[in-house]
Structure 1
């Protein structure tokens, strides 16, 4: 079963209102006090921001609107933009699966922002790349799996939230365990959340470490068993959606450079990178991403390689734009509440969030090799 039509019609004017009138005035508080803007994350759902890309693998799905809505939030606040990515990705997992139960019972709530959550795939994605071991272990029991372990860094996760993740299961007679992907509810027995906000930025993201103590995961909540074919199906969309975060912060950094052209242009003209230089790279990146957003279920390695290169370019351009925005802004951007220094701190997150710059370069090398 595929969900063909958006659950809530997308309202671009409302997305703009939420960004400009609700989010923008709260950005400093989000950064300073590490508050999770739950009301705002839900408001984007009411505006239809999470429901435009959930038609499923057999439908004409386009990620463009989801990416652009995320970019608009990220122009103001990358913490919130990241929460939109997490929510979008939760919806993407369910919509891309063959699990009719989750599509019927949970997906509409996620698309409307009534059920919040994200992706617990930082560790599994790195485990798939043999960067680190899988943190969760499962055991087959009647009707599902019993799962234990400690999963780090699950974001956009309130106490009643949901997230997708993966666990290893030992199989008799096989040398290597199989991988199973499922949706988890944070309120299940055996789940314990601990906030993990010891970062220089991105504190307002409800990021948790999640302890599993013999948690029962029913077969009704399994996305893929085994997980590998499903990962190949959803990997390009997962990665493309992150480009919304990069696009938003790049655009704002260009604006920060333009803001000081009148008072500082006479000396900033000696800096080797100007707003026009960044705009040219930004326009090329966005055009490439939008073109790929039209075919997110292309499972070919050639397409995935193109996606990885765009995601890498987005992260590197975000860090580059933030660097030059800080230099153009000078001391006025380097004060405690200066926007430029916050954007610099946030931009490095785009470079280190899974798949991080080094992970992307590893995957690109493997596909090209």
Structure 2
């Protein structure tokens, strides 16, 4: 799925992207140039057609070489999905061309909203009615793809007047919107991940994505989570390929373990794609939560298996650089919002109330 030039660029820059030594602007530019952002987007909107499950595979292909680059792609592609599912067609037409070309960065900003939907936390941004829209106040603590050269971020807003919470897109040049310095992460440094503070940010009504967050969020949640799953899929596949390379055809219990894990991984991927295609995740989010948990576990198990297959070499700088990055990446997969702890807590709550 990756063209040769983009694959080579990712291989050459994976460590630099992870450690923040690559200009984050280049990451999104390279992803856009590869045309992967257009997958699953109607040709009438500038895409190449297909469905969102193919976009999941595109993110997986990037993640097999750089999880940080896949994280950026997830943020961009998730925002594109919000526009595709928004009734505000004018906003979609206005923003989509620059998003697909990578000239405008799209940031999801809805991690807090997804936790709100499950009753895990309150919305962190509030909106007060103004003449032609709202004034926004609050904070988003962790948002990816906030490119310094211009971004637009989606956020769910608590209505100060007591109405239904709603979802908006906020441009980076809005007065009163403050971007923090990049967060100092253990890896994934060239992902433009930062916090946002809203200081009475004026926003016109034409930036509205949906007037009812409780209706909109369940519609976009399947794509939001499935696109995240692409990161675990790609990481797990790469680690299993590395296991095979280390074993070089030698039959052992490690080869048996690799085959069992690969089958578990691909069966889960098949279930994920089928659920996206038949639409059942909208009414059965728990089924999607379970698949997300399983894929994260597959990624962790695959990296652990890679360590066992490579032995002490994995701990030598000269040989183990790629493995060390994948180890850090595997530690990130379980904590992407909603985290595995939050998903398991929600599943437990649903089981108790059934």
Q: Give the alignment's TM-score, normalised by structure 2.
A: 0.89
Q: Distance in 1 between matches of 2:212 and 2:287?
A: 26
1:23 aligns with 2:10: yes
Aligned-partner SS, 2:36: coil
- Indicate the structure with greater helix content: 2
Aligned to 2:104: 115
CA distance in 1, matches of 2:50, 2:134: 32
Preserved CA contact (<8 Å) 2:125 2:137: yes
Partner of 1:228: 214
Q: Tell me the residue number matched to 1:317.
A: 298
- Of the candidates 77, 102, 124, which is equivalent to residue 113 of structure 2? 124
Question: Is 1:43–2:43 an aligned residue pair?
Answer: no
1:236-259 Cα shifts (integer Å, max 9, x gaps)? 111111121111000001011112
Whether the 8 Å contact between 1:62 and 1:295 is mirrored in structure 2 is: no
Alpha carbons 2:243, 2:258 under 8 Å: kept: yes
Q: In structure 2, how many angstroms separate the alpha carbons of the residues matched to 1:353 and 1:18? A: 29
**C-alpha contact 1:119 1:154 (8 A) present in aligned 2:** yes
Asked whether the equivalents of residues 335 and 341 of structure 1 are also in contact (C-alpha less than 8 Å), the reply is no
Show structure 1 runs of 5+ residues with no match. 1-11
Do residues 32 (structure 1) and 19 (structure 2) align?
Answer: yes
Q: Are the structure 2 counterparts of residues 320 and 36 from structure 1 closer, same or farther at C-alpha, using a change threshold of 3 Å? A: farther
Match of 1:290 in 2: 273
Aligned residues: 344
Aligned to 1:169: 159
CA distance in 2, matches of 1:312, 1:213: 37
Partner residue, 1:8: none
Note the alpha carbon deviations across 1:195-225, whole angstroms, 9 max, x for none: 3332222222110111111111111001111
Contact 2:113/2:156 (<8 A) preserved: yes
Distance 1:328 1:278 in 2: 14
Partner deviation per Cα, 1:242-295 (whole Å, 9 max, x = no partner):
1211110000010111121149x58xx355973212211122122222223324
Partner of 1:306: 287
Question: Equivalents in 2 of 1:89, 1:237: separation in Å?
Answer: 7
Match of 2:257 among 250, 258, 274: 274
Whether the 8 Å CA contact 2:19–2:188 is kept in 1: the answer is: no
1:229 is displaced (CA, Å) by 0.5
Task: For residue 197 of structure 1, give the secondary structure of its aligned residue in structure 2.
Answer: coil
Q: Which runs of no fewer than 5 residues in structure 2 stay unpaired?
A: 44-48
User: Aligned-pair RMSD on alpha carbons?
Assistant: 2.3
Normalising by structure 1, report the TM-score.
Answer: 0.86
Once the two structures are superposed, the pairs formed by residues 14-93 of structure 1 within 5 Å of their partners are 15-55=2-42, 62-93=51-82
> How many Å separate the matches in 2 of 1:164 and 1:199?
22
Equivalent residue for 1:211?
A: 197
CA distance in 1, matches of 2:346, 2:40: 25
Query: Is 1:147 the counterpart of 2:136 in the alignment?
Result: yes
